[in-house]
Structure 1
């Protein structure tokens, strides 16, 4: 049997897809361990998960803190201003989160490798220390691409930004990696696990033949203590409205407008809204909009007719796993790329997050609920996802990598 070390950033959406992969490998008798933020990983992967703290736990970075833009937990000192967009948002992400996180995690990754002695390191694309340390130590390593946005090479049309990004990575490698390394640490030369399929992601100019499209990796998750299932109306189309864990600080206006759009269609539509900040308030008797801080997303998607979201990769892929069409309102980071994939694949409608009011959200909802072509496209992507193999297929590829020698 082999040993696999999974290196992840303190972000919910980057841990969740790997939970199923870790479980599949463990069920086959392999040794598995994590390097990352212990409280977050154990909350998502289970209290028995073996976790090497990386970086060491900070008093102000306990479970429940926000990441670089409110994403997940940890990195509480890198809270991004909510109105930051475009190149400035990218600059903040790299200079204030990804690079400092890599430098902070590198000693812990080295220590985890020394203690756990993995045959293969699996590094999330935003946990750069995993890739750079594995490269430095000559270990085979795989990339976990929990979003397909990096494959699109979004910086190709911005050569100056691309050159700045390359310089940043080169300088980071000089500090914590192998000085003679030349590859992009976001793309392993051995194996790239992509948790999507070309039916959604479309043509991918980056990654080459190293990419293995395994589709979404879904695993059982902790459920909210109580969800009012009796309030769901089987006679109306259920719409899930969520901005994920990343955007609680910027969603007040959008969630309010989405609720208004649903209420205008109350005779045929009912919504469940993930409302972590209580924007819509406590309304236990509201028959049209059920707003709660946390909702059982996967359970709801089994019943949903449509999803309104921010085009977060996990939410989009989870919806399409169940064949549910989408209304996507991207905010920043990889979300515009994923939203373009949704529109190009014909599985949903894209609207503008900053300007969409109740009328625009409602019109988009009408389109995805009423257009047979949209639902048929969502069903096709769902079929492709399920055929790709998910966590089991990812485990297969990792087992093959563990049986090979690392390229020189």
Structure 2
């Protein structure tokens, strides 16, 4: 039996993939614990019995709505990721001292997990919930890449091992990539293991009107994720208008957590709710319109559903590019798209064979990769290998 300590940021899209892996490890008899600044969120997603160590955290500051590209990336790092790592580090150290894990599993954006493990000489694995950085996302902007390396070096000096050299975003032991080359492309990172999406059951609130779904019409799920509620009003309104024009053959289910749309009462064409049971709906819809968040994209393609992607910020333009390159969807401009353009994109993914064929191909690759069970096996192997090496170090005669 081994012990695995998962270190995750307080972000749904980063916790969910780890939940399935952790559940597999528990079923196999291993010890599992978590470090997360939001214990209530973690337990809501991982189960009320999850062992969660407390730690401090920070919240992402409100970004200017027009912040894009390199400036948006710098904002994310300066005002969220780096402060989050510094805030979490003491709690991660305390959890390691108490739980005594064999392996630390650090989310790719929870730098404290990797750096504290490195400082203590513990093996650590990366949980990569986005594939944006595998394909050299910053190759064309070397100044940005250098700026990121400098921020990580400063952070290592403060909370990690100043003599360390590993990039905390890519473990030198094991990086679990929740995708496959069929979507993300190949990578030269030697420790990356493509395991495909980690899809696990999630609690579904009672009361969703499943009878609303019309089997005689195509159904479209529209979601901009949980972090974009404040910027999505215009885009969602254009989506609604595009579907209205096709209501004789299309229904839309729209997630509107910010309440930016007027309520729709007894509407047989558009269903607007603050949140939607995304996984079970993906078994019943014919297309997805989204922000190109990695989790939403991979969950849609896991079900063979083609996409219309409208990236907003961070890694989303890279993921949108992967979808288009793979042939599984159409990209539109989030800030300028019209109902006419959205309607044209919807018609393409709903009625032309190319996107659906590509989505089906990726679905096959995702399911063959193994998901959470294979990820758990890789972690078990790392724990065994690490104990073996430690034992050899202990018995090795002095030089």
TM-score range, shorter chain: over 0.9
How far apart, CA to CA, are the structure 2 residues paired with 1:281 and 1:224? 23
Question: Tell me, what secondary structure is at the counterpart of 1:384?
Answer: helix
Alignment partner of 2:320 out of 329, 339, 353? 339
Superposed displacement of residue 222, structure 1:
2.1
- Where do 1:155-304 residues align within 5 Å? 155-205=138-188, 208-304=189-285
Superposed displacement of residue 235, structure 1:
0.4
- 2:31 match: 31
- 1:21 match: 21
- 1:9 match: 9
Superposed displacement of residue 234, structure 1:
0.7
CA deviation string 1:48-100 (max 9, x = no partner): 110001227xxxxxxxxxxxxxxxxxx33622222211111111111111110
CA deviation string 1:279-333 (max 9, x = no partner): 2222231111000001100011000100000000000000000000000000110
Deviates more, 1:79-88 or 1:344-353: 79-88
How far apart, CA to CA, are the structure 1 residues paired with 2:348 and 2:160? 50
CA deviation string 1:146-199 (max 9, x = no partner): 010011222111121211111111011000000100111000000000000000
CA deviation string 1:190-212 (max 9, x = no partner): 0000000000001335xx22010
Question: Tell me, what secondary structure is at the counterpart of 2:253?
Answer: strand
Question: Is 1:76 the counterpart of 2:77 in the alignment?
Answer: no
CA deviation string 1:92-123 (max 9, x = no partner): 11111111000000000000000100000000
Question: Tell me, what secondary structure is at the counterpart of 1:230?
Answer: helix
Question: Tell me, what secondary structure is at the counterpart of 2:6?
Answer: strand
- 1:62 match: none
Superposed displacement of residue 33, structure 1:
0.4
Contact persistence 1:17–1:146 (CA under 8 A): yes
- 1:100 match: 83
How far apart, CA to CA, are the structure 2 residues paired with 1:83 and 1:182? 36
Computed over aligned residues only, the root mean square deviation of the Cα atoms, in angstroms, reads 1.2
How far apart, CA to CA, are the structure 2 residues paired with 1:142 and 1:209? 13
Question: Tell me, what secondary structure is at the counterpart of 1:193?
Answer: strand
Aligned length: 388
Structure 2, unpaired ranges of 5+: 394-399
TM-score by length of 2: 0.95
- 1:118 match: 101
How far apart, CA to CA, are the structure 1 residues paired with 2:31 and 2:187? 33
How far apart, CA to CA, are the structure 2 residues paired with 1:167 and 1:361? 40
How far apart, CA to CA, are the structure 2 residues paired with 1:307 and 1:110? 41
Question: Tell me, what secondary structure is at the counterpart of 2:176?
Answer: strand
How far apart, CA to CA, are the structure 2 residues paired with 1:278 and 1:159? 40
How far apart, CA to CA, are the structure 2 residues paired with 1:299 and 1:204? 32
Structure 1, unpaired ranges of 5+: 57-74
CA deviation string 1:240-277 (max 9, x = no partner): 00001121111000000001001100011000000112
- 2:359 match: 378
- 1:61 match: none
How far apart, CA to CA, are the structure 2 residues paired with 1:99 and 1:135? 17
TM-score by length of 1: 0.93
